[in-house]
A and B are shown apart, each in its own frame.
Chain A
Amino acid sequence: MPRWGRRAARCSAALTLAILVFLGTPAGADEPAAGPSPSTAPAAEAPKLDSGDNAWVLTSSALVLMMTGPALALFYCGLVRKKNVLSVMMQCTFLMCLLTVIWGLYGYTIAFGEGKWLGDCRYLFMKGAQAAWKDGKPDIPLYPGLTIPVMTHMLFQGMFFIITPALICGAFAERMKFSTMVVFMILWGTLVYLPLAHAVWGGGVLQYGSEHAKGISAGGALDFAGGTVVHISSGVSALVCALLLGKRLNYGKAPMPPHNMTYTAIGAAMLWVGWFGFNAGSALGSNGLAASAFTATHFAAAAAGLTWACLEWLLRGKPSVLGTCSGIVAGLVCITPASGYVTPMPALLMGVAVAVVSYFFCTVVKSRFGYDDSLDVFGVHGIGGTLGAILTGVFATRATGAITDPASLVGKPLGLLEGGPLLTAQLIAVGITWVLALVGTFVLLKVLDAVMGLRVSREAEIEGLDLSQHGEEGYIFI
């Protein structure tokens, strides 16, 4: 997330101008791309609220909420058996409530307060973000360096805090105890997601250009909308969940086909739409960068859906709805970290690449190792996110103008293709995210297994989670 977005342009404009002038003489590849753009002037003026930017980010926030409910809920619930359809919808819907409350109380400040490892308390209980009476008039504080209120930024980021844990639900579908899931998600959100979000987006040790990143992650990695924070963290945690919970009863013996592929197709299409908010909204402004991210997102999704369907067509004889939907989601996952940094043709390529790799993981690798990642969260999000974060280090270009802060990095080449050094940092960030997700999830699940138990009883699993956990049925014959 380019939190640094306009900081240089607006807050440190004088310094920026000085450095641009200083470096403006013809030089090698490190020459800043352009002279001062019109937005860098006037100097030293604090950014004002921009109604266009605010409208787009608020709209994006709503789109990202829609990704969890109903999009992800539909996408997932169509894939489970009839007797568990509500349990999956409930997990997504309940998490929308639960994680929002945590985000408002302390989540936002840990992720986006200042600090090396964790944020400070500046936004605790929304203090520092909310409306306040100041100097004899009402005041809605703006996010530092941006043209949107802190609350808009908080809302937008809060939706990411909802969908990331919700993604994991696909791995333990049809067997996890609801009460344990609730406690697990509170702890996972607090101990895995928040520190990671701070490290990557909140000025922490993994963020590109952050002062804390120098010794730790080779200057920091780029993650436009959440390849590491959202997809690797949820996908890798999902794998740990699938392994520690064990397979569903009779997995591999009894048939467990999706009970309603129409829900899944609707959910996938809604995810695609919601993802425009996720990625293009991450520009945190209604600007050219948002258009660029929107384009990359759209192209990658299309290319990946097409590729997955064609792979099936070639290898299995028929292109399937589920295959096309899986490809679309994999493409969206893969382009997420890169969306603000790549041009359209690399986005198409990334879509093709992730479809091939995720297809291989969901069909060949999973069946070879025999783990029951019920809805392929690892194969699509873990693997797709990893590939996306690495390919960001290859294809990222300074041409999108996403990097505007710190001034010393403006105009530096980024990805391997334009001779930039980014790839090393991307690999380090991927590695750290994998380790954090693996270790964090493993420890949490081991503790919860000892304290509460992870799975429902055998009888409850046979009866179905809808009845045993919620006392309801999805389809009633009246």
Chain B
Amino acid sequence: MKKVEAIIRHFKLEDVKNALTERGVVGMTVTEVRGFGRQKGHTEMYRGTEYEVDFVPKIKVEVVVPAEKLQIVLDTITRAAQTGQVGDGKIFVSDLCEVVRIRTGESGVVAI
């Protein structure tokens, strides 16, 4: 099993969610996050005091998939979240050792 964490733009969330659901992904977790990469932050000004805001707000989508579906999921997210501009985000993939469905106690791929 693989855990896919995709950092994307706010307004791409709906596209990514729909595309993944169409590909048979049955669940996901979404978080509002802040961070920076190559995209620069911005400046905020409050009554003459300027603040450099380095951490840009983004959305993190977490999806857990069986290993054989990984490539489809990665392609799907990439296509749905892409604008071609700096700041589109990144996808991180890691191995996942266990999943448990709390209601039934099932574990492994069936619990995803």
Contacts and interface: CB of A to CB of B under 8 A. Distances in A.
Contact of B51 (A257, A312, A320, A364): A257
Interface size class of A (residues with CB under 8 A): 10 to 19
A367 B48 contact: yes
A323 B51 contact: no
Contacts of B52: 255
A258 B46 contact: yes
A363 B46 contact: no
Contacts of B49: 257, 367
A316 interface: yes
Contacts of B110: none
Contacts, number: 25
A234 B112 CA distance: 62
Nearest to A365: B48
A322 B47 contact: yes
Contacts of A258: 46
Contacts of A326: 47
A470 to B, nearest CB: 25
Interface string A352-369: 000000000011101100
Q: Is the interface of A mostly helix, strand, loop or mixed?
A: helix
Interface residues of B, number: 8
A257 B48 contact: no
Interface string A302-323: 0000000000100010101011
A376 interface: yes
Contacts of A322: 46-47
Interface in B20-73: 44-49, 51-52
Contact of B48 (A255, A318, A363): A363
Nearest to A323: B47
A34 to B, nearest CB: 47
Nearest to A79: B46
B47 A318 contact: no
Contacts of A362: 47-48
In order of increasing CB-CB distance, the 5 nearest A-B pairs are: A363-B48, A255-B51, A362-B47, A257-B51, A322-B46
Interface of A: 255, 257-258, 312, 316, 318, 320, 322-323, 326, 362-364, 366-367, 376
